[in-house]
Structure 1
Amino acid sequence: MTRQEAARATISAAIASVATATFLLALKGFAAWHTGSVAMLGSLADTGLDLLASLVTLYGVRIAAEPADHDHRFGHGKAEALAALFQVALITASAGAIAWRAIERLGADAPTTDAEFGIGVSIVAIVATFALLAYQRSVIKKTGSIAIRADNVHYQSDLLLNLSVIAALVLDQFLGFASADPIFGIAIALWLAWGAFKASSHAIDQLMDREWPEEMRERFIAVAAQHPQLLGIHDFRTRHSGSHDFAQFHMHVPADITVAKAHDIVEEVEENLRREFPNVEVLIHVDPDGHVDHPGNALIEEEVVPHWFGKRA
């Protein structure tokens, strides 16, 4: 998938998220008013924040899809991580509000009503949410979008919320367990807080330029090593930015070749990498075989042994 195709896919997923959240917000708003369920109210609050978060996600992925410009030479991909962190803040606020309302409800005698209606609404919400989750997962698999991943966490929580609402209404009205509704409300709040923590870690990793997973790094090196005149790699660094990736490394070539020949080798290595990693921007520095970088030239002190491929003369 090209960068343009990835951008279109993430924008489409964000639009689908906004449409789903709008529909569920209207449906759950009426259900919360009709049943008086604090679990349904918690689900409504989560969906309202989902809508706001989805709008932010849509804005974030649209910015991230913009090409690099004079002021942003590496593109705008980190707008996705910022949108994801905004979603995390909303999820955390939602969890706190739901927990507070549920604790208040524990000491009050305010039973829920019309469980059948609340259960019916929750089932409709489950179907709609499940369809959105399936679409989002397909987009995440293709693009790796951190913003859509965080939005997906929202709707995974929403799926669990709706199941919890059904359980709370059944226990409250049909089995006489009056405290079920606020207890499920507290459980929902804890689940949302845990989801916020997980979503934040992905966004922070991207903003802090965390290295690729080791398996992906090794596969990248293996592809580069296929060129017969590439003798070794060192100072290999990687990072994510939205649905784009960046990699840079020093490449050892035979010391007796011309600059033009070294350039040709770099072009050939880049072409091999481009076929296997189409959304990775690669920066290669050429070193003649036998050259050792001065330690003072490195931005960080590395204890990593250079990657040699056994091709040295």
Structure 2
Amino acid sequence: MQINQNKLKQRLILLSFIASILLTGLKFFAYYLTSSNAILSDALESIINVIASGFAFYSIYLSSQPKDKNHPYGHGKIEFFSAGFEGALIMIASLFIILEAVKRIMDPAPIQNLAQGSGFILFTIVVNTAIGYKLLSEGKKANSLALVADGRHLMTDSISSLVLIVSVGLILLTGYVWIDSVASLLFGIFLAYNGFKLVSKSVAGLMDASDEHLLEKVVNTLRSHKNPAWIDVHNLRVQQYGSDLHIDCHLTLPYYWELQKVHETIHDLENILKNSHNGETEVFVHADPCLYQCCYFCRIENCPVRQHDFIQDIEWDAANLVKNEKLYTEASIHIQE
């Protein structure tokens, strides 16, 4: 399943790469026909699509490679770098677009054949939207930041091209040529914002920042499959590198259990977490023995060593499970008070 998923990701990003080359050529041809600064800005931004899609293809290929001696956690982090690289290119392109727009506002140039050039831009909008939507949907399924980033970039390109068509229509209706340069300026600012968001997400991933949505998903999985023998889970850490998910946690189990039973219980927990994720999942569980304070919150029936009656459950949520301390120890203090 993982191999097929990696092949699908590579085919999708290759499709994006080839389409970006063809559509960039069409946009430059539209600029040749019209001399429109806004169309030129759109064409220049599409060069970024080509470079970014090429690098994303390499990053997806590399992230699919198995772990090795030098990369014990796999190669998935390259997808964060790919998204950051794409964001940086977008920001650089936006700077050139903004400067060119300001220059054209101060020194307007004639525009021609707008209707004909707009036809080519409309075609690129349809193609970019279709491919971008596919990349976004499949990227979210596969938890691939490189696919999501490239898909979002293509969708952004479609939106900006649509704004461009609107500005061309306004020029045809009003005759005000300056609308072209103003549209290009706004387009550049919009690109800079989206590039900054990509870079920020990339840096967060490279720095192992917590993904609240991903953490909540893991917590919900644990909560919905909670076993009475899982007395306590704490020190939960969740990180994702490409499609690979890494989960660490401490699990409190009855201290009198034999090692074989502890092993089987941990194995069941690992399988539950792995089955909840589409990509490769690596789980490390540290087993802790229970203490007498656990009795207040332990649901194990007919426990031979129980010292206190069960009183209440401890709420399993993201705020509690990430703590590097046993939840029942803190909760038992409040009960005894």
What TM-score results when the alignment is normalised by the length of structure 1?
0.89
Cα deviation digits, residues 171-229 of structure 1 (max 9, x gap): 2243111210000000000110111122223222211212232521321321552x332
Report how many residues are paired. Answer: 298
The answer to whether the aligner puts 1:288 opposite 2:289 as a matched pair is yes
Say whether the 8 Å CA contact 1:112–1:173 is kept in structure 2. Answer: no
What is the CA–CA distance in structure 2 between the aligned matches of 1:303 and 1:217, rounded to whole Å? 15
> Which is bigger in relative contact order (C-alpha 8 A, separation at least 6)?
1
Partner of 2:217: 216
Say whether the 8 Å CA contact 2:84–2:201 is kept in structure 1. Answer: no
SS of corresponding position for 2:217: helix
Cα deviation digits, residues 139-179 of structure 1 (max 9, x gap): 12311211111112221221122112212222224311121
What is the CA–CA distance in structure 1 between the aligned matches of 2:148 and 2:97, rounded to whole Å? 23
Q: Which structure 1 residue ranges, 5 or more long, are not aligned?
A: 293-301
The answer to whether the aligner puts 1:79 opposite 2:82 as a matched pair is no
Q: CA RMSD in A?
A: 2.0
Cα deviation for residue 278 of structure 1 reads: 4.6
SS of corresponding position for 2:237: strand
What is the CA–CA distance in structure 2 between the aligned matches of 1:224 and 1:305, rounded to whole Å? 22
What is the CA–CA distance in structure 2 between the aligned matches of 1:7 and 1:291, rounded to whole Å? 48
Correspondences of 1:34-113 after superposition (within 5 Å): 34-113=33-112
Partner of 2:276: 276
Cα deviation digits, residues 57-92 of structure 1 (max 9, x gap): 001111011111111011000010111111011000
Cα deviation for residue 99 of structure 1 reads: 0.4
Partner of 1:236: 236
**Structure 1 residues 54 and 291: alpha-carbon distance in aligned structure 2, compared to 1, 3 A threshold:** farther
SS of corresponding position for 2:180: helix
Partner of 1:20: 19
What is the CA–CA distance in structure 2 between the aligned matches of 1:47 and 1:124, rounded to whole Å? 14
Q: Which structure 2 residue ranges, 5 or more long, are not aligned?
A: 294-321, 333-337
Say whether the 8 Å CA contact 2:235–2:323 is kept in structure 1. Answer: no
Say whether the 8 Å CA contact 2:28–2:43 is kept in structure 1. Answer: yes
Cα deviation for residue 40 of structure 1 reads: 0.4
Cα deviation for residue 5 of structure 1 reads: 3.1
What is the CA–CA distance in structure 1 between the aligned matches of 2:291 and 2:256, rounded to whole Å? 11
The answer to whether the aligner puts 1:140 opposite 2:139 as a matched pair is yes
**Structure 1 residues 178 and 288: alpha-carbon distance in aligned structure 2, compared to 1, 3 A threshold:** same
**Structure 1 residues 185 and 63: alpha-carbon distance in aligned structure 2, compared to 1, 3 A threshold:** same
Say whether the 8 Å CA contact 1:168–1:184 is kept in structure 2. Answer: yes
**Structure 1 residues 278 and 106: alpha-carbon distance in aligned structure 2, compared to 1, 3 A threshold:** closer
What is the CA–CA distance in structure 2 between the aligned matches of 1:186 and 1:244, rounded to whole Å? 40
Correspondences of 1:135-174 after superposition (within 5 Å): 135-174=134-173
Say whether the 8 Å CA contact 1:61–1:80 is kept in structure 2. Answer: yes
Greater shift after overlay, 186-195 or 202-211? 202-211
Question: Hey, which bits of structure 1, 4+ residues long, moved more than 6 A?
Answer: none
**Structure 1 residues 123 and 230: alpha-carbon distance in aligned structure 2, compared to 1, 3 A threshold:** same
What is the CA–CA distance in structure 1 between the aligned matches of 2:229 and 2:52, rounded to whole Å? 50
Q: Percent identity?
A: 25
Partner of 2:297: none
SS of corresponding position for 1:281: strand
Partner of 1:247: 247
**Paired residue type of 2:187:** I
Partner of 2:317: none
**Structure 1 residues 73 and 94: alpha-carbon distance in aligned structure 2, compared to 1, 3 A threshold:** same
The answer to whether the aligner puts 1:179 opposite 2:178 as a matched pair is yes
**Paired residue type of 1:271:** N
What is the CA–CA distance in structure 1 between the aligned matches of 2:327 and 2:218, rounded to whole Å? 12
Cα deviation for residue 281 of structure 1 reads: 1.3
Cα deviation for residue 303 of structure 1 reads: 5.4
Say whether the 8 Å CA contact 1:169–1:181 is kept in structure 2. Answer: yes
Say whether the 8 Å CA contact 1:118–1:169 is kept in structure 2. Answer: no
SS of corresponding position for 2:245: strand
Cα deviation for residue 291 of structure 1 reads: 9.4
SS of corresponding position for 1:238: strand
What TM-score results when the alignment is normalised by the length of structure 2?
0.83
Say whether the 8 Å CA contact 1:57–1:147 is kept in structure 2. Answer: yes
SS of corresponding position for 1:132: helix
Say whether the 8 Å CA contact 1:233–1:250 is kept in structure 2. Answer: yes
Say whether the 8 Å CA contact 1:45–1:94 is kept in structure 2. Answer: yes
**Paired residue type of 2:59:** G
Give the greater-gyration-radius structure (CA): 2
